[in-house]
Chain A
Amino acid sequence: MKSLVIVIISLSPLISLAQEKIEREKRINSNEVPSKALDWIDDAYEDIENKIKWYFEESSGSYSYEAKMKFMDDLHSVKFDTLGQIKDIEIIKEWNELQPNVRENIQKYFQSNFKKFKIRKIQIQFTGDEDDLEDLIDENEFEDLTIRYEIEFYGKTEQSKKIWEGLFDDDGNFIQKREIILNSSNNLNF
Chain B
Amino acid sequence: MRTLLLFIFLIASLCSFGQSPTSIFGFFPEAQLSYKTKSGFKLSTKTESQHGVINTSPEMNPEYDYYHNQTDLQGFIGKSINPFVSLTVGYQYRIDPQSNNSNRSIQQISFVQPLTGIKLGHRIRTDQTFASEESPEFRGRYRLSAEIPLSGQSLDPTEFYCILSDEGIISYQNDDAGFENRFVIGMGKLLTKHQKVQIALDFRTDKFSDPSIRHRTWFKFAWYASFSANK
Given the contacts A14-B225, A25-B154, A55-B152, A189 and B86 also touching, CB distance less than 8 Å:
yes
Q: Which chain B residue lies CB-closest to A161?
A: B82
Interchain CB contact under 8 A, B152 and A27: yes
> Given A154-B84, A184-B193, list of 4 further CB < 8 A pairs?
A18-B157, A22-B157, A24-B151, A161-B82
Count of CB-CB pairs between chains A and B under 8 Å: 100
Q: Which of B32, B119, B151, B158 contacts A186, CB < 8 Å?
A: B32
Q: Which chain B residue lies CB-closest to A156?
A: B82
Given the contacts A17-B194, A183-B193, A23 and B156 also touching, CB distance less than 8 Å:
yes
Given the contacts A161-B82, A182-B83, A182-B112, A187 and B152 also touching, CB distance less than 8 Å:
no
- One digit per residue, 1 when the CB lies within 8 angstroms of any chain B CB and 0 when it does not, for chain A 142-176 equals 00000000000010100001110000000000000
Interchain CB contact under 8 A, B83 and A187: no
Interchain CB contact under 8 A, A190 and B44: yes
- One digit per residue, 1 when the CB lies within 8 angstroms of any chain A CB and 0 when it does not, for chain B 144-156 equals 0101000111111
Q: Which chain A residue lies CB-closest to B121?
A: A188
User: How many whole Å from A6's CB to the nearest CB in chain B?
Assistant: 15
Q: Which of B84, B114, B196 contacts A187, CB < 8 Å?
A: B196
- One digit per residue, 1 when the CB lies within 8 angstroms of any chain A CB and 0 when it does not, for chain B 177-210 equals 0000000000010111111101000000000000
Q: Which of A25, A55, A188, A190 contacts B119, CB < 8 Å?
A: A188
How big is the B interface, by class? 35 or more
- Flag whether B102 is at the interface (Cβ < 8 A): no
Q: Which of A161, A162, A184, A187 contacts B194, CB < 8 Å?
A: A184
- Enumerate chain B interface residues (CB-CB to A < 8 A): 32, 34, 44, 46, 76, 80-84, 86, 88, 108, 110, 112, 114, 116, 119-121, 123, 145, 147, 151-159, 163, 165, 188, 190-196, 198, 222, 224-226
How big is the A interface, by class? 20 to 34
Q: Which chain B residue lies CB-closest to A75?
A: B116
Residues of B within 8 A of A178 (CB): none
User: How many whole Å from B211's CB to the nearest CB in chain A?
Assistant: 34
Residues of B within 8 A of A17 (CB): 192, 194-195
Interchain CB contact under 8 A, B193 and A189: no
Interchain CB contact under 8 A, A184 and B224: yes
Q: In the complex the two chains form, what is the Cα distance from A187 to B116 in whole Å? A: 19
